Structure 1
Amino acid sequence: MKDTIQLGIHHLPYHAVCDQTLLRQKIYPDMYKNYYWSDDFSAKYYIAQAKAGFIAVTDFFEEKELLLPEIQFSYALLDFKDLHISKKVQKLFRQKPLKLHISQNPDAVVQAISKIHKNNWLSPRYFRMLKQTRGADDNFQLISAYIEEEGKLVAGETGYIIGKTYTSLSGCSRREKRYNHYGTAQLVLLGQYLQRKGFAFWNLGQPYMDYKLALGAKIYERSSFLERWFEATKGPSSCTIHEASTSSFVPEKT
C-alpha cells in the first residue's frame, strides 16, 4: 500500500455514513484519510458508522469531547480456522478450569477497563452511548466477554455484533503475575465461542498490535476488508446473543 497521511480531520455527519454512493465513490477510496470527527453521540449515529465499517474512539479538542470514527487503512481479521493457541495458554487451560462469560451487560468489563487503563478513550459519555444502542437496531448488539476468578474479573473485553461479525472495542487484563496469560486465554475462549456460534470472522481492528497476529489474525487492506465486511454484515443478524443473563463457555480440548 502507498504511504498514507491524514490531511486534516473532516466532519462526518449522519447522512454521510448512510450515503452508500458517497462512501463508495469518495470516502472509501481516499487512502489519505482515515479519521473523521462528529459531535453526534446518539445511538443512531454510532450504529450507522459501525455498519459502514468505521471503528470510533473519542478525543478532546478545545475541551470538547468528540467522536472520531475511523475507516482504517487496514484491519486485523481472524478467521477461526487460523486461531492459534500458544503452549502457555494450553498449559493454563490444563491447570485452571477457566470459563468465558458472555453478557449483554458490559458494565463490569468497562469498569475494569477504566481502573486498569487510566485516561482511555472509552469515556463515560462513549459508554452511555454504547448502552443506548441496546434494542435500537435488530442488526447491532453490544456484548461483553470476560473471565472471573475468585469473584474478580481478571480479563475481559466489550465489542459489538453486526450480522455474522464481531468487532472488538476495548479490553483489559489484570497485571498481577498470577494472572499471566489470562488475557490471551480470554481471547482464545472468545474465538472458540464465536466459531461455535457460526460467526464469519472476528474484526480485531488496528493490525499493528503483535498479540492479534500471534492469535492468528491476518491483515486486510481497506478495500479487501470492506468486501468481506459488507458480505458478512448484510441482513438481520443470525449470530445474536439471545441470553438475557450471563452465560459461560469452557475451552475446547486442544
Structure 2
Amino acid sequence: MEREALARLILDQLPRFRSRLYLADAEALAQLLRRSPMAEVMSGDYAWSLCFEPAFVASLCWEGFLPICSELGGNGAPGLFVLMPKLHTHRCVLEPSAMHIPRKVRKRASAYRLTVGQAFEAVVDGCAAQHRPSWLFPPLRAALSALSAPSSLRGVGGATPCFVTFELWTRPPDGCTEPAQLVAGDLGCVVGRSYTSFSGFHTASGSGSVQLALTGALLQRAGFGWWDLGQEHGYKSGLGAAAVPRSQFLRTFRRLRAERNRLAEVVGPGGDASEASALPPRASAEAAAAAAAADGKAP
C-alpha cells in the first residue's frame, strides 16, 4: 500500500495516533520547522512516521529526537513497523565532569578496556537482547547502521549526526591467551558536542556501571558539553544527571550540535580508548563536580 494511504488507514483504525504529530519525511519536517519551532509544535512526547530513510532519521536526530521503532499487530504474525520519534517533555542530561563514580566502580575499572566504534552490530544485538520487547526492529536497525561512524571515527567530530558504540571488553591477565570478551556497550548518536545515549547492555555483574563511568570520562576528555540520557530514571539521577524541560533542552542542544568534539582525536588506533577513558582520581573528580556546580555550568 502507498505510504500516505497507509498513514490514513492507521489514523482511521488507531485513534491514539490522531493526537500525535505525523512526519511524512525529511522534507515535511523541514517545512514544519520553517513555520514553527519544534518546542511549540510538539504537545506530547511522541511523533510518528512510516519513513525509515537514513536521511530522515538523521534529520530527526539533528532536531533532538530519539527515533525509536514500534510494531503494530504482530503477535507471531508479521506486523507493521512504525517510527516513533520521541522528544521528551523533560530530558535527563549529565555534564560528564560532574558524573558520580562510586569507589567500587573505580576498583573494577582496571579489569576492563573501552573501545569506540569497533563492534557496532554486536552492541546493537546486545541492546536488543537485554531490553525485550525491543524497539530495535529491522528497518530502524538498517537506518542506524547506514548512519554509523566508520571504525576510524572519521567525520564524527562535526555536526552531521553519527551513530557510535562504546564497547567494554575484559582485559585478560598478562600471559593469558584467552581473547577479550565484550561484556557491556552503549549505542548512541553524536551530534557536535552532544552525545545522546539510545540504549545499553551488560552481561557481567558490575560491567554496566564500569562502562558508564569510562564512557563518561571519555566524553569529558573529548570535549562533550553533555551526555543526553533521554528519559529520567533513578539510576541516571544517581550518576548526577538532572531533568530539564524540553524548551531548555532544545536551546542548549542547538548550541552544542554546532560545536566540534574531539572524539576521533583522543581515541587511539583500533578504537582503543583506554588512555582517554582513564578515571580521574576521586579527589579531583569531586573538585571538578563542585566547580561545575558553583559556576552554574550544569545544563
What TM-score bracket applies, with the shorter chain setting the length? Answer: 0.7 to 0.9
Alpha-carbon separation, structure 1, partners of 2:221 and 2:184: 21
TM-score, structure 1 normalization:
0.85
Name the residue aligned to 1:75.
91
Q: State the 1:223 CA deviation.
A: 0.6
Matched, 1:146 2:175: no
Which residue number in structure 1 is paired with residue 12 of structure 2?
A: none
Alignment of 1:115-126 (within 5 A): 115-126=129-140
1:102 is displaced (CA, Å) by 1.1
One-letter amino acid matched to 1:196 = R
Q: Give the Cα separation in 2 of the matches to 1:68 and 1:18.
A: 17
Contact between 2:149 and 2:164, CA under 8 Å: does it hold in 1? no
Measured against aligned partners, the alpha-carbon deviations of 1:46-104 in whole angstroms (never above 9, x if no partner) come to: 010111111111102242101100111011111123110013212323xx432211116
Q: 1:88 to 1:135 in 2, by over 3 A?
A: closer
Distance 2:212 2:251 in 1: 25
2:129 partner amino acid: K
Percent of aligned pairs sharing the same letter: 25
CA shift for structure 1 position 228: 0.4
The answer (yes or no) to whether the contact 1:163–1:239 under 8 Å persists in 2 is no
What is the distance in 1 between the residues matched to 2:118 and 2:87? 26
2:196 alignment partner, one of 167, 170, 178: 167
Check whether the contact 1:102–1:146 (CA below 8 A) recurs between aligned residues. yes
**Structure 1 position 251 matched with structure 2 position 275:** no
Of structures 1 and 2, the larger Rg is shown by 2
TM-fit CA distance, 1:240: 5.0
Q: CA deviation at 1:152?
A: 2.1
Change over 3 Å in CA distance of 1:16–1:234 after alignment to 2: farther
Instruction: Decide whether aligned partners of structure 1 residues 197 and 18 sit closer, same or farther in structure 2, where only a CA change above 3 A counts.
Output: same
Any stretches of 5+ residues in structure 1 without a counterpart?
none
1:153-181 CA-to-partner distances (Å, cap 9, x unmatched) read 1111111110111110111111xxxx322
What letter matches 2:141 in structure 1? F
Higher helix share: 2
CA–CA separation in structure 1 for the residues paired with 2:106 and 2:182: 20
1:12 pairs with one of 5, 23, 27: 23
SS of 1:251's equivalent in the other structure is coil
CA RMSD, Structure 1 to Structure 2 (Å): 2.5
